[in-house]
Amino acid sequence: MREVLLGSKKNYQNLKDQFVFYLDNVSVDYGNCSALKDITLTVNPGEIFFVTGKSGAGKTTLLNVLAGDVKPTKGRVFGVDQNVRFISQVFQDLKLFEHRTCEENIWFSYDRSLYKNKNEFRSDMLELAKVLGIQDKLGDKVKDANGGLKQKVAMLRALMARPNVLIADEPTSSLDKESSIKLFDVLNFYNIKRKLTVIWASHNRELVKTFPGKIVHLENGKLIYSGHACFI
């Protein structure tokens, strides 16, 4: 899917420091409908990157292109190998297993190559759940959970995978402003502490303007603005 730029180890080191993704004139068509039109942008390592726009502007398509789930109709996507730079996602439809508990859903992120043992994973999970205020609800079935809890579980699952890049599609659509800020604080912490690159799509432009980071604004699949929030 994504074109991998890994000529040599040295070459990779240079590229790794330069960008996470580079989109070169990317267009995506679904039949006659054009979802993205000639998008050129760069996502740098350790950056918090907001994608804003109204519903149907092409935010999800752009995120799917970055995640490698959608192939561009035109243009090229450059990214670094998934095995080296791991991408984790918070899906718009969350993709949680309704018949399982919140905790069981989070356990999908348990990777033996990252954690020494299950206890380490469990303690990390409880710690993060405490920060998000859902430690008492981990035993609840997802089908019985409210929208806010589901989104927090999806975010927790994504973070527990210890990714290098986090792609989050409308992660705060069911959350109030206070919870949204709390969630952003968590991501900001991971960004500073672990150099996590965050790509966050939201239709709530006013909310993301309050956060530090880079904003890309889309309208009808076209890139209208790209720059820091403070300059809007």
Q: Looking only at residues 68 through 97 of this chain, which bind other proteins when binding is defined by CB under 8 A?
A: 83, 86, 88-89, 95, 97
Across the chain, the runs of DSSP E, i.e. the strands, are 3-4, 21-30, 33-43, 48-52, 74-79, 87-90, 165-169, 197-202, 214-219, 222-228
Q: Are 50 and 59 in contact (CB under 8 A)?
A: no
Query: Which of the stretches 10-18, 36-44, 104-112, 201-209 binds other proteins when contact is defined by CB under 8 A?
Result: 104-112
Q: Which of 29, 75, 108, 219 binds other proteins (CB under 8 A)?
A: 108
- Going by their DSSP bridges, the two strands 214-219 and 48-52 should be labelled as parallel
Q: Which of 16, 74, 100, 122 binds other proteins (CB under 8 A)?
A: 100
Q: Looking only at residues 146 through 165 of this chain, which bind other proteins when binding is defined by CB under 8 A?
A: 157-158, 160-161
**Alpha-carbon distance 57 to 53, whole Å?**
6
**Alpha-carbon distance 69 to 205, whole Å?**
25
Output the smallest distance, CB 164 to other proteins, in A: 11
- 109 to 148: interface string for other proteins, x by CB under 8 A: xxx-xx----------------------------------
| Residue 43, beta-bridge partner list | 21
**Alpha-carbon distance 222 to 232, whole Å?**
17
Is residue 1 at the binding interface for other proteins, with CB under 8 A as the rule? no
Output the smallest distance, CB 9 to other proteins, in A: 19
- 6 to 35: interface string for other proteins, x by CB under 8 A: ------------------------------
Nearer to other proteins, 78 or 115 (CB): 115
Output the smallest distance, CB 87 to other proteins, in A: 8
Calculate the alpha carbon distances from 38 to 108, 122, 140 in Å.
36, 44, 44
Residue 21 CA, distance from chain mean position: 13
Amino acid at site 204: N
Residues of this chain that interact with other proteins (CB under 8 A) are 83, 86, 88-89, 95, 97, 99-100, 108-111, 113-114, 157-158, 160-161
